[in-house]
Amino acid sequence: MAGLRDRLARIQSHLADAARRAGRSPDAITLVAVSKTVDAGRMREAIEAGQTTFGENRVQEARAKVAEVGAGAVWHLVGHLQRNKAREAARIFQMIHSVDSVELLRDLDRHAGDGGKILEVLVQVNVAREATKHGAEESQVPAILEAAGSLRSIRVVGLMILPPPPADPEASRPAFRRLKELANRLAGERHENVSLRHLSMGMSDDYEVAVEEGATLVRIGRALFGERSADPGKER
């Protein structure tokens, strides 16, 4: 199997090709390396290869890694966030992809303010309305954006989606396109602290399709780090 540096170069090449097919600049795409269950040594290897942005699924796992990995890493939370972990999440992460309620948004604002930081967040949207998935329904997103306008320490910078695992990458395209259309519609509603410049969508099996449909953040774990030996709640 190819080494981590080779896999990273291959993914970056595929991202660039997909961006060009869509008439976009490859520089507009950020690879978020999903590092759930990946040890600190492997993450440092990724940093040495040029990868600096990492996505963790759980606050408690990220807490242990921050000190071990050291400088050079930018931390995103890509998994579901419970309100009782909002304080620590606001302290650890530079961006949170999974805000799905006004209440969670306000909690994060309060805790980020206590820490004297501005926290960037994305609103997770359950486009397919899957009962087993987290995320706000499309009809709930405007209220979350409106609430952000009165907050001090939060910036809503985009939307995120976690579609069903695709049997074929093309199966994800309608969901990606729908999220892009939603972002375009909502961009016309001006709110303070809101700029929907990011779309977090696409993972190991469908990231090229996501980029073709407008993704600016792609969350890739398995294609970069390889299969995980222990991976409950599989992150693709």
pLDDT of residue 115: 96
* All residues at 6 or more sequence positions from 166 whose CB lies less than 8 Å from its CB, including other chains: 172, 205, 206
Backbone CA torsion sign across 236, 210, 172, 95:
positive
- What is the spatial distance between Cα 40 and Cα 236, in angstroms, rounded to a whole number? 20
- pLDDT, tens only, 70-117: 888 999 999 999 999 999 999 999 999 999 999 999 999 999 999 999
Neighbours of 87 (CB within 10 A): 17
Please check whether residue 122 is in contact with residue 200, taking contact to mean a CB–CB distance below 8 angstroms.
Answer: yes
Task: Return the amino acid letter for 118.
Answer: I
- What is the spatial distance between Cα 207 and Cα 213, in angstroms, rounded to a whole number? 10
Low-confidence residues of the chain: pLDDT under 50: 1, 231-236
- What is the spatial distance between Cα 102 and Cα 118, in angstroms, rounded to a whole number? 17
CATH architecture of 4-225: Alpha-Beta Barrel (3.20)
pLDDT of residue 12: 98
